[in-house]
Amino acid sequence: MLAIRKFIKNSKGATAIEYGLIAALIAVAAITAMKALGGSLSNTFSSVAGDLNASTDAGNSD
Protein backbone atom coordinates (compact mmCIF):
# COMPACT_ATOMS: atom_id res chain seq x y z
CA MET A 1 0.00 0.00 0.00
CA LEU A 2 2.88 2.34 0.78
CA ALA A 3 4.33 1.82 -2.69
CA ILE A 4 1.02 2.81 -4.31
CA ARG A 5 0.87 6.02 -2.24
CA LYS A 6 4.43 6.91 -3.24
CA PHE A 7 3.58 6.27 -6.87
CA ILE A 8 0.52 8.52 -6.72
CA LYS A 9 2.44 11.32 -4.97
CA ASN A 10 5.33 11.13 -7.45
CA SER A 11 4.78 13.91 -9.99
CA LYS A 12 8.10 13.61 -11.84
CA GLY A 13 6.55 11.45 -14.53
CA ALA A 14 3.69 13.87 -15.09
CA THR A 15 6.10 16.79 -15.31
CA ALA A 16 8.22 14.95 -17.86
CA ILE A 17 5.12 14.24 -19.96
CA GLU A 18 4.09 17.89 -19.79
CA TYR A 19 7.53 19.02 -20.94
CA GLY A 20 7.39 16.48 -23.75
CA LEU A 21 4.01 17.79 -24.89
CA ILE A 22 5.26 21.38 -24.80
CA ALA A 23 8.33 20.43 -26.84
CA ALA A 24 6.16 18.62 -29.39
CA LEU A 25 3.86 21.64 -29.70
CA ILE A 26 6.82 23.95 -30.25
CA ALA A 27 8.21 21.58 -32.89
CA VAL A 28 4.89 21.47 -34.75
CA ALA A 29 4.64 25.27 -34.68
CA ALA A 30 8.22 25.64 -35.93
CA ILE A 31 7.69 23.16 -38.77
CA THR A 32 4.48 24.90 -39.81
CA ALA A 33 6.18 28.30 -39.81
CA MET A 34 9.16 26.99 -41.78
CA LYS A 35 6.92 25.42 -44.42
CA ALA A 36 4.98 28.67 -44.85
CA LEU A 37 8.17 30.72 -44.99
CA GLY A 38 9.82 28.22 -47.33
CA GLY A 39 7.04 28.53 -49.90
CA SER A 40 7.24 32.30 -49.74
CA LEU A 41 11.02 32.29 -50.13
CA SER A 42 10.81 29.90 -53.06
CA ASN A 43 8.40 32.24 -54.85
CA THR A 44 10.64 35.23 -54.13
CA PHE A 45 13.78 33.53 -55.44
CA SER A 46 11.94 32.35 -58.55
CA SER A 47 10.75 35.89 -59.20
CA VAL A 48 14.25 37.32 -58.75
CA ALA A 49 15.74 34.65 -61.02
CA GLY A 50 13.14 35.43 -63.69
CA ASP A 51 13.89 39.15 -63.45
CA LEU A 52 17.63 38.50 -63.74
CA ASN A 53 17.13 36.27 -66.76
CA ALA A 54 14.92 38.88 -68.42
CA SER A 55 17.51 41.56 -67.68
CA THR A 56 20.32 39.43 -69.08
CA ASP A 57 18.31 38.58 -72.20
CA ALA A 58 17.50 42.27 -72.77
CA GLY A 59 21.19 43.17 -72.43
CA ASN A 60 22.23 40.51 -74.97
CA SER A 61 19.77 41.69 -77.62
CA ASP A 62 21.56 45.05 -78.12
* Cα dist from 37 to 17, 34, 60, whole Å: 30, 5, 35
Low-confidence ranges of the chain (pLDDT < 70): 4, 6-13, 59-62
Q: Say if pTM beats, i.e. exceeds, 0.85.
A: no
Q: What range does the domain containing 44 cover?
A: 1-59
Q: Total structural domains in the chain?
A: 1
Amino acid 61: pLDDT: 58
